[in-house]
Amino acid sequence: MTDRYAVIGQPISHSQSPAIHAAFAQATSQDLRYDAIDVAPEALTETLKQLHADGLRGLNVTMPHKAAVVEQCELISERAALAGAVNTLSRTDAGWHGDNTDGEGLMRDLTRLGYTVEGRRVLVLGAGGAVRGILGPLLAAKPSQLVVSNRNPWKPEALAEQFKAVGSITPRTHLALKGDRYDLIINAMSVGHSGSMPRLPDGLVADGGACYDLSYGAAHAPFRTWTETQGATRIADGLGMLVEQAAASFDIWRGVRPQTDAVLKALRAG
């Protein structure tokens, strides 16, 4: 019997996960099938039960279900509990075990790019679900300062409180960043999907500073344009993170970590 996996989300037709996992399976000689399944929020509970009954071995979870899935898990990992968000489900006899590989995916891609966090001033733009997954690993990498800035000012404040046992986060609004300088700016806003960028003060990128966007494809364009107007020379999109978080999920499910370079190269080639 071929082991079955899937990614659930809405919308899902654009997902690159089936192609990424098919490439990993081929490269590691694993016999598996991986589908993309469109799931509406109101159908989440029933669908998870059904997919478990159907014998699926694991699921990736994407927008808008990452937070809601936490309550549907029998067990969750420490990092998923800290994030309050799950992107990887593994089958157990009783139900689903939840984990979160987003932060690991980001950190591996930053390492691949040669972007340093330790001792650096780091700014995260946005305070949504993805940010909850990356803050733990970012704090563990010991930045000299970690600032989270968001349109809605309450969210960074809540995150600073939630993560205070792990490390210090400074909450800010975008306009209050005026006069700051950062060695690494990580964009985790979803606004690129609508082709725009909110107003940010000029001068945020320190000399030689690096910029990283969790978004990729067309959604990356507005942030890239902004970084270029700021004179940044080191700019990366989130395609590498996407591949790395998928590799971490694959490892959890199959016990083998696939090579990511060739898959990333193939995705970039289109």
| 221 is a site residue for ligand NAP (CB under 6 A) | no
Output 57 or 155, the one with its CB closest to ligand NAP.
155
* Residue-wise DSSP of 199-253: ---TT-EEEEEEEEES--GGGGHHHHHHHHHTT--EEE-THHHHHHHHHHHHHHH
Output 52 or 134, the one with its CB closest to ligand NAP.
134
Q: Which stretch binds ligand NAP (CB under 6 A): 21-29, 165-173, 203-211, 237-245?
A: 237-245
Q: Residue 20 in contact with residue 242, Cβ under 8 Å?
A: yes
Identify residues 150-179 at the interface with ligand NAP (CB under 6 A).
150-152, 155
| 229 is a site residue for ligand NAP (CB under 6 A) | no
| 95 is a site residue for ligand NAP (CB under 6 A) | no
16 known member of a binding site: yes
Q: Which two tokens stand for residue 156?
A: 């960074």
Considering only residues 76, 122, 242, 248, which one is a binding residue for ligand NAP as defined by CB under 6 A? 242
| 215 is a site residue for ligand NAP (CB under 6 A) | yes
CB burial of residue 30 (10 Å; 0-12, 13-18, 19+): middle
Q: Residue 182 in contact with residue 205, Cβ under 8 Å?
A: yes
Q: Which two tokens stand for residue 245?
A: 């978080």
| 103 is a site residue for ligand NAP (CB under 6 A) | no
Q: Quick one: CA torsion of 58, 64, 68, 70, rounded to 10 degrees? A: 40
Considering only residues 238, 250, 253, 260, which one is a binding residue for ligand NAP as defined by CB under 6 A? 238
29 known member of a binding site: no
Q: Residues interacting with ligand NAP, by CB under 6 A?
A: 63, 102, 105, 126-131, 150-152, 155, 188-193, 198, 214-216, 219, 238, 241-242, 245
Residues tagged in the binding site annotation: 15-17, 62, 78, 87, 102, 126-130, 214, 216, 238, 245
